[in-house]
Every structure is written in structure tokens, then in C-alpha cells.
């Protein structure tokens, strides 16, 4: 690193001192905290994004200023890798170290210089870094984005491109598109989603009745997702989608609204009530990377029937499996290729959903909790589907499968125009373009749900009847040292302390359809307990018994 680059970094870093007493940790959610203490973190995240671009030979990296479903006074930052996915886990320790460097000199000498040498990152100007940046609608976003830009610019020759106010999935989509040599503006994002949705509607068996699609009411969490969904509705020129909680009527971001609130509290969001009984409803989260559906069953207008990420996963898996089965019927010239379809869940997935998927003939595997683990495992399949119950997930299609699918579609087009197999191929191609393969995306997910429900001719009630969730309960047990609990088998089996797993098995077996596991929190000294059983009382009782076990072993 030359003297000019050193001087630039030192001068810039000195303007963004680390707040006294603060420590930041980068995880699945990126960095998050009260917006007032984040300027140094944003500056340093800009540096990391530039270095990540240099590490990848100048590939575009994304930097998104958002705190998703957190309260409006919080903010945060997520970094997107060249694939459009999350920042590599291998860089998380370095990212933490950079964010917590006590001063500019330490940041430069002991972290950036040493790490760059280790990673083979050159500052000689032979490679230029490029970072796409976006922010959601939080009031603090603009000043924090400016701090991140200064971080990018602290690496000589780096280019920071402000893409404006976006959902987090839009920015991830743009990064992926840019690195694939594709058009990557917001308009192109909307055009791809709209075109793919129309294609699926036109290919539905009942496409002539598309004007009769029943009403959908969407809770926009008073966030950026509402604004973008309203733009998308205009482009689609449809009238069946109504957006509420769009932030224009004085509503506060994520306060009594949003997918996280609806999924955890199991009550209606603000702006919904007894007048919406029987109507299909959906809720986005603050940065529009989560989506859940719900129904209001009675005129009291308080309680809901939740249709969560597990149900979305099941709907998508069923539809894709059906189309794949049609496509593979009869003679196929290239019969050496057998696409592998897999479903990826965590231990928090409701056991009823796992049973349903397996009964439907789908391959189901588990990973530890966290989107980064789910995404990585799903990418091992030709078609990999993952969703968490909170509504975050997507569908991944391998390059090999998409190449085969295109060839198969061309073959069918020339031999049997208008056949069921050709339509199945076209549907799968449309799904691969509609779904955001970079990351979970509430807008693309919502359109895919609507297209599949229309294709099936299903109401939300019929969709919800695919299976019935087992009652579940989650508890937290405070402990002195959460690291005393060590798990394996995707966090479903405890290997330390000795004996506790056997005790959990004995207790769980006493309850009809009882299943329970424990895992250490990633952020606080608590052990998380999950339990499910055939009734709510049984689930509550099992969770309480397991919590008492934890206390007896670790108290």
C-alpha cells in the first residue's frame, strides 16, 4: 500500500471515531444498532465493500442501509457478495474486527494492511472496486449512506454508485444482474417481475378468467416495500391488489405492522379488522425481504390464521414438482440428466410441514438456523427451495438445470407446440425469472404465490388446508455461559453437556407428537427452547419441562 493510500485512509477514518463502549457484530442480519451510533460502522462497511470488490477482481458488491424489521430509530447495513447473496461467512470475523478497531491507526495497520496482504488484495490501481448502494425509507438512511460512501472512497479508485431508495432484495438483485452482464436498474427489476408474472397467469389452465382474481390486501409495514409494490401494481395494471400501511398516513415503520409483527404476535396489523374477514391478506416486513399471508376468521377482527413461510415453501415445492413431473414424461432426448429437487428447512420448521413435504415425495434436508446456511445448501440442488417460518426464503435454479430447461423447451417447441410439456417448461422458466434468486424477496414471492394460487384455482383457505400446523412454543432460559451447550445435526442434537440430549428425548416421548430441541443464542447468554406437540397445552408443557432441564444442567 503506497503512502498516498495510507494517508487517505487515515484522514478519512479519523472523521468517524468508534463510539465509546460500543461493540458491533456482523451476522445474518448484518450490523444493526441505534442509528445515532452507526456512522463509524457505516464508514468501515464501505471500506469492507471496496476490499471485497478488489478481492473479486473488481466484481460489483452491494451495500444496503437498512434495519429490516427493527424499530424506526434503528438502522444497519448489509453487504451483498458478487452473487447477490450475503457476504461470505469467511469475511465475517474480519468485518467484525474492522467495525471494532479502536482508532484509525489500528484500523489501517493491524487490520486492513495485514488482511489485504493475507487475501492477496492489491492497491496498485490494476483493479477498480465498484459498490452499488441503496437505502430504505428510514430518516437516518441518507446520512448513514453518505458515511458508507466515504468508506468506499477511502480506497483509491473505488466507485460508489447510489441506486437510491430501494428494498434490500432489489439491491441484491441488481448486484447479481450486474455481475451476470445483465441490465440492472429498478425499471429492469420491475419489468422482469411483471413479465414473468403475466407469463404464469397466461399459462394457467383458467387464464381466461384472470379478471376474476379475488382481492388481496397487503400490509406494507409503512416501509419501502409498500412504495415499491404500488409502483409494481401500476406496471402490472391490475386492480386486485390493495396496499395498506404505505407510510403516507402517519403510520410508523414496523410499529404494530409488518411481517415480523404478524408472524410473532399472531394478531392483525394496524389498518386491518372485522371488515376484512375472509379476504386474502399478506404482510411485508420493513425492507421487504420477508412475506407472510394471513386470514381474519371472525368479525372481532383481532386474531388471525397465519399462513407462514412453511406454507409458502410447500406451495412452491408442490407446484414446481408437478411441473417437473409433466416435463419429464415421455421420451426425452437427453435422458442422462435427471434434475434434483430439494427442500431445505431448519429445526424451527413446523413438524407438520416436514411430514407433508416428505409424504409428497420431496427430498427434505435440514441446516442450522440462519439464511446463510439454508441458501448454501439449497444451491447444491438443481432446484433448491428454502424458507424460514418467518417468511424469508427463495428458490434457486442451477445454471446446468436452466441450460437443460431452455434446450428442452426449444425441443418441445419444434416438435409439439402447445403441449402440456412445453407449457410446463415455460412455467418453470417463468418461475426462475420471477423469483429473486439472490435473496428472499417479498415482492417477487408475493407475485409467485398469487400466480400459483390462480393456476391451482385455490383460495387461501384451500392453500392453508395443505396440512395443519402442530402447536409449538418457544422459551428462553438465561444461563451464565451459553457456549456450554454444543449442538450437531443442524442444531437438533446436543452433544454437550453430556446426558442432556438423552433427558430431552425421554421428556419429549411423553407427549403425543412431541418434538423439542435446544440451542444457544447467537447474541445473548440464553438457551433457546423449541417444543411442539399435538395440542397447545402439550406444547406448553413440553417447553416448560425442557426449560427446567436446561436450568438443572446449566443453572
Q: How far is residue 90's CA from residue 429's CA, in Å, rounded to a whole number? A: 33
- Do residues 156 and 125 touch, judged by C-beta distance below 8 A? yes
Length of the chain in residues, anyone?
Answer: 555
Q: How far is residue 249's CA from residue 252's CA, in Å, rounded to a whole number? A: 9
Q: How far is residue 358's CA from residue 319's CA, in Å, rounded to a whole number? A: 15
Q: Which residues pair with 493 in a beta bridge?
A: 488
Given 68, 444, 516, 545, the catalytic residue: 68
Q: How far is residue 42's CA from residue 133's CA, in Å, rounded to a whole number? A: 12
Residue 325, helix vs strand vs coil: helix
Q: In which residue are the cell numbers 414446481 written?
A: 320
- Residue 275, phi then psi, degrees to nearest 5: -70, -10
Of residues 91, 97, 69, the one with CA closest to residue 79 = 91
Q: Is 283 a catalytic residue?
A: no
Q: How far is residue 407's CA from residue 351's CA, in Å, rounded to a whole number? A: 38
Q: How far is residue 49's CA from residue 82's CA, in Å, rounded to a whole number? A: 11
Q: In which residue are the cell numbers 479519523 written?
A: 14
Q: How far is residue 87's CA from residue 92's CA, in Å, rounded to a whole number? A: 8
Strands 341-345 and 383-387: parallel
Q: Which residues pair with 27 in a beta bridge?
A: 30
- Do residues 69 and 75 touch, judged by C-beta distance below 8 A? no
Helix axes 420-434, 309-327, angle to 10 degrees: 140
Residue 261, helix vs strand vs coil: helix
Residue 278, helix vs strand vs coil: coil
- Do residues 525 and 481 touch, judged by C-beta distance below 8 A? yes
Residues labelled as active-site residues = 68
Amino acid at each position: 500500500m503506497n503512502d498516498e493510500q495510507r494517508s487517505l485512509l487515515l484522514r478519512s477514518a479519523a472523521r468517524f471515531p468508534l463510539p465509546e463502549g460500543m461493540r458491533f457484530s456482523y451476522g445474518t442480519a448484518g450490523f444493526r444498532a441505534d442509528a445515532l451510533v452507526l456512522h463509524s460502522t457505516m464508514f468501515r462497511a464501505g471500506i469492507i465493500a471496496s476490499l471485497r470488490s478488489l478481492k473479486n477482481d473488481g466484481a460489483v458488491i452491494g451495500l444496503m442501509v437498512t434495519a429490516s424489521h427493527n424499530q424506526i430509530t434503528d438502522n444497519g447495513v448489509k453487504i451483498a457478495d458478487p452473487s447477490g447473496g450475503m457476504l461470505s461467512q469467511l469475511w465475517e470475523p474480519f468485518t467484525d474486527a474492522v467495525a471494532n478497531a479502536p482508532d484509525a491507526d489500528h484500523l489501517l495497520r493491524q487490520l486492513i494492511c495485514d488482511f489485504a496482504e493475507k487475501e492477496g488484495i492489491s492497491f496498485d490501481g490494476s483493479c477498480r472496486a465498484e459498490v452499488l448502494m441503496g437505502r430504505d425509507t428510514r430518516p437516518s438512511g441518507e446520512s448513514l449512506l453518505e458515511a458508507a460512501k466515504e468508506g468506499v472512497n477511502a480506497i483509491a479508485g473505488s466507485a460508489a454508485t447510489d441506486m437510491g431508495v430501494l428494498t434490500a432484495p432489489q439491491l441484491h438483485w441488481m448486484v447479481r444482474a450486474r455481475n451476470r452482464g445483465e441490465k440492472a436498474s429498478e425499471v429492469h427489476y420491475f419489468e422482469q417481475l411483471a413479465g414473468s408474472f403475466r407469463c404464469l397467469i397466461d399459462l394457467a389452465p383458467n387464464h381466461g378468467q384472470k379478471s376474476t382474481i379475488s382481492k388481496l390486501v397487503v400490509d406494507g409495514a409503512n416501509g419501502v416495500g409498500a412504495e415499491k409494490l404500488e409502483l409494481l401494481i401500476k406496471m402490472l395494471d391490475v386492480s386486485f391488489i390493495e396496499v395498506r400501511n404505505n407510510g403516507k398516513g402517519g403510520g410508523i415503520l414496523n410499529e404494530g405492522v409488518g411481517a415480523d409483527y404478524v408472524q410473532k404476535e399472531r394478531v392483525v396489523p394496524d389498518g386491518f379488522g372485522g371488515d376484512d374477514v375472509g379476504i386474502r391478506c399478506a404482510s411485508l416486513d420493513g425492507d421487504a425481504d420477508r412475506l407472510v399471508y394471513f386470514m381474519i376468521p371472525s368479525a372481532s377482527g383481532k386474531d388471525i390464521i397465519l399462513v407462514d413461510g412453511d406454507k409458502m415453501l410447500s406451495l412452491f415445492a408442490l407446484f414446481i414438482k408437478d411441473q417437473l413431473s409433466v416435463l419429464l414424461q415421455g421420451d426425452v432426448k437427453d435422458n442422462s440428466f435427471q434434475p434434483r429437487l430439494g427442500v431445505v428447512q431448519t429445526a424451527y420448521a413446523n413438524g407438520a410441514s416436514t411430514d407433508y413435504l416428505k409424504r409428497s415425495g420431496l427430498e427434505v434436508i435440514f441446516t442450522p438456523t440462519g439464511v446463510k446456511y439454508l441458501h448454501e445448501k439449497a444451491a447444491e440442488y438443481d432446484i433448491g427451495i428454502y424458507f424460514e417460518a418467518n417468511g424469508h426464503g427463495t428458490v434457486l435454479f442451477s445454471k446446468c438445470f436452466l441450460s437443460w430447461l431452455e434446450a428442452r423447451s426449444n425441443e418441445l417447441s419444434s416438435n409439439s407446440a402447445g403441449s402440456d410439456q412445453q407449457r410446463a417448461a415455460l412455467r418453470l422458466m417463468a418461475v426462475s425469472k420471477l423469483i429473486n434468486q439472490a435473496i428472499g424477496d417479498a415482492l417477487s414471492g408475493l407475485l409467485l404465490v398469487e400466480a400459483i394460487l390462480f393456476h391451482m384455482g385455490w383460495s387461501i383457505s384451500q392453500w392453508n388446508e395443505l396440512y395443519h400446523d402442530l402447536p409449538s412454543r418457544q422459551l428462553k432460559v438465561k444461563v451464565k455461559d451459553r457456549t456450554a451447550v454444543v449442538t450437531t445435526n443442524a442444531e437438533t442434537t446436543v452433544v454437550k453437556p453430556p446426558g442432556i440430549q438423552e433427558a430431552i428425548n425421554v421428556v419429549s416421548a411423553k407427549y403425543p407428537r412431541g418434538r423439542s430441541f435446544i440451542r444457544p443464542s447467537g447474541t445473548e447468554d440464553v438457551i433457546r427452547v423449541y417444543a411442539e406437540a399435538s395440542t397447545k397445552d402439550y406444547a406448553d408443557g413440553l417447553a416448560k419441562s425442557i426449560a427446567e432441564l436446561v436450568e438443572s444442567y446449566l443453572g
